[in-house]
A and B are shown apart, each in its own frame.
Chain A
Amino acid sequence: MLIREAQRGNRAAFEELVRHYDQAVLRLALHLTGTEQDAQDVYQDAFLKAYKNIGSFRFECSFYTWIYRIVTNLCLDHLRKRNVRKEDAPVAKDASGGEYDLLDQVPDVRAGANPERDLLRRQLGARIAGALEKLTPRERMVFELKHYHGLKLRTVGEILKTTEETAKNTLFRATQKLRGALADMR
């Protein structure tokens, strides 16, 4: 009903739709892009695109799948662009010559009551983030939607306009790479 209203140009109905999905969209964009600014840009572009094209939504898939398709496409573009300009990342070298991201050294102001546990959690988070960066944008996206968002691989396939079988294979490749990259942490 809300979708039909939004298709007729009812902006309030569209804003109601936005409120149904925007926290999940922002969470996905935030985790994939890594910064609030970039996440906001993806959010903005995604919903503007949805608003302009809602008339062409033909109920062939769920609205959830449709909006996620827009968001994932924008995030994939973002990841591809970031891979190209990775050399500009603020990295430094440690004593053993290994590179690390300077941004990882910024203290997390949300630290809780246990500083030691927070430090370990931050270190683990930084290692996982580093390993995720090594995946291809598509592997990263499938892993993100499955692992962090708990979507069924069938839905992941629909969102990425591919088959469930391909999504399964991509998830397999992604986890193999991650296991290799994080082997020393177990």
Chain B
Amino acid sequence: MKCEWVRENIVLQVYGELADDARHELEQHVTRCADCAAELKAEQEFHALLAQDRASEPTPNLVAASRMRLQEALETAKQGSFWSRLAFDPANWLLQMKFSPTLAAAILIVGFLGGVGTMREISRPTTTAGGPNATTPTLTPVPTEASITGISSIVQEPGTNQISIKYNTVSTQEAQGSLNDQKIQQLLLYAARNNYNTGVRFDSVDLLAQKSGDAQVRDALIYALQNDTNPGVRLKSIGALGNYVKDDTNVRDAVLRALVNDTNSGVRIEALRLIEPVKADGSVRGVLMALAAKDQSTYIKSQARTMLAQLPEID
């Protein structure tokens, strides 16, 4: 009976799930019983064998893609209705009642301020977008990131420098202006980082590429290169950063990270091409040596070896 109990509890002992008194009893028993001691040893060895196989962690790309997909779905998802909550959770209902005077006051204040704002808008002379001076953006204030809920499209008029961006706050709005307009730039930067629509991210990165001399734009391009789930967007970003590999160490580091970690071979090959002019740099040389020694891609491995062979020997 005792041996049977021990055999059934050895697995709990190995997983640290036995209560102190039971553990003590089991430990005492195995000092006296050779069979049970052998069973405990076998279970421990098996546990060690299983421990060699660990559940793999989800990649940052998978986490980011899952979050993005969920955010998209949450846009249209509805929570259980108030009445169903009322039926199931009276405590929560009471809690909401407690805040209802505050809520009513808040609604009154928002309503009053909204009315005052609307009256001012009505009394102000209107200006139409795309008037005599087409480069002047519409007169709505520059949107802040917090007020934008999404960007639905970016279109450049053929043959002009006019860009039209539809973005959503509470309702969809549209901004027009040239690439030099602060508002247009701000919306493009927002789209490159935050939008769930790949086409919009691609369009914004494509336009921002023309302004890659701006440090803020380069930051957005680096962000897209490192975090965007779409290889086309990453390829566009790395192409736009190409001219700054030599002078901007942040760009160089981002390109090196893409060369080592990107899952897309096209992006990696472009990264390899871009670091060619700075291959003598210590950090670049180190990466090339690692790639030449053990990269999965035979093309990258051989290119890295060729580039290293062109470098002067270090004494």
Chain A contact residues, CB within 8 Å of chain B = 4, 7-9, 11, 14-15, 18-19, 22-23, 26-27, 30-31, 36, 39-40, 43-44, 47-48, 51-56, 58, 109, 111, 113, 121, 124-125, 128, 146-149, 152-153, 168, 171-172, 175, 178-179, 182, 185-186
Contacts and interface: CB of A to CB of B under 8 A. Distances in A.
A182 B49 contact: yes
A48 B70 contact: yes
Nearest to A176: B11
Contacts of B216: none
A171 B11 contact: yes
B56 A128 contact: no
B46 interface: yes
Contacts of A43: 66, 70
A8 B63 CA distance: 26
A56 B89 CA distance: 7
Contacts of B66: 22, 26, 39-40, 43-44
B61 to A, nearest CB: 9
Contact of B79 (A9, A15, A22, A175): A9
Given A22-B63, A109-B296, A186-B46, A58 B53 contact: no
Nearest to A49: B77
A55 B79 contact: yes
Contact of A26 (B45, B62, B79): B62
Contact of A56 (B62, B70, B73, B88): B88
B12 interface: yes
Interface residues of B, number: 42
A179 B67 CA distance: 38
B298 interface: no
A11 B85 contact: no
A31 B53 contact: no
B74 interface: yes
A124 B78 CA distance: 45
A26 B84 contact: no
Given A27-B55, A31-B55, A153 B65 contact: no
User: For the complex, would chain B's binding face be called helix, strand, loop or mixed by DSSP majority?
Assistant: helix
Interface string B61-97: 0110111011101100111100011001101100110
B17 interface: yes
24 contacts: A18-B67, A22-B67, A26-B63, A30-B56, A30-B58, A31-B55, A31-B56, A48-B77, A54-B79, A55-B85, A55-B88, A56-B80, A56-B84, A58-B88, A109-B296, A125-B53, A147-B15, A168-B12, A171-B12, A172-B8, A179-B42, A179-B46, A182-B49, A186-B42
Interface string B130-173: 00000000000000000000000000000000000000000000
A8 B62 contact: no
Interface string B29-52: 000000000000011011001101
Interface of B: 8, 11-12, 15, 17, 42-43, 45-46, 49-50, 52-58, 62-63, 65-67, 69-71, 73-74, 77-80, 84-85, 88-89, 91-92, 95-96, 294, 296
A30 B17 CA distance: 26
A53 B58 CA distance: 26
Contacts of B52: 121, 124
Among all A-B residue pairs, the 9 with the closest Cβ atoms: A55-B85, A31-B55, A26-B58, A148-B55, A55-B80, A128-B53, A43-B66, A175-B11, A125-B53
Nearest to B57: A27
User: Which of B15, B57, B65, B71 has the most chain A CB within a 10 Å cutoff?
Assistant: B15
A183 to B, nearest CB: 9
B49 A40 contact: no
B45 A52 contact: no
A30 B58 CA distance: 7
A96 to B, nearest CB: 23
Contact of B15 (A18, A58, A128, A146): A146
A44 B49 contact: no
Given A53-B80, A56-B89, 19 more contacts: A4-B95, A7-B85, A19-B67, A23-B63, A31-B55, A39-B58, A40-B62, A40-B65, A51-B77, A52-B78, A55-B84, A58-B88, A113-B294, A147-B15, A148-B55, A153-B17, A168-B12, A179-B46, A186-B49
Contacts of B55: 27, 30-31, 148-149
Contact of B70 (A4, A9, A18): A18
B296 A44 contact: no
A40 B229 CA distance: 14
Given A23-B58, A43-B66, A44-B73, A185 B49 contact: yes
